[in-house]
Amino acid sequence: MGLSAEQINEMMPVGRVATRQEIGEVCLFLATDMAGQITSSTILCDGASWMINGNEKQRLRMYKQLMSKM
């Protein structure tokens, strides 16, 4: 059985997963002239999930579950 949305949110350092709106806003910004000097970069919009302590299998399971709900 997978993790509940509440459990996933509790694991996130910022307390919740990014919304579709927030992800879209990052994409929109990158498509504007304001992002003209951003090159070869990785933009993380993941609620600082990289900070979660635990094993990689747990993180992958969490990501798969999150993606299936989008």
CATH no. for residue 15? 1.10.8
pLDDT score at 55: 61
Tens of pLDDT, residues 24-60: 999 999 999 999 998 888 887 877 777 766 666 676 7
Q: Which domain holds residue 41?
A: 5-69
Give first-to-last CA distance, the chain, whole Å: 18
Domains of the chain: total: 1
User: How many residues comprise the chain?
Assistant: 70
pTM of the full structure: 0.59
- For residues 11-41, one letter each, b for 16 or more C-beta atoms within 10 angstroms of the residue's C-beta and e for the rest, the string is bbeeeebbeeeeeeeeeeeeeeeeeeeeeee
CB under 8 Å to 64, separation ≥6 — which residues?
none
Tens of pLDDT, residues 1-28: 677 888 888 878 788 888 889 989 999 9
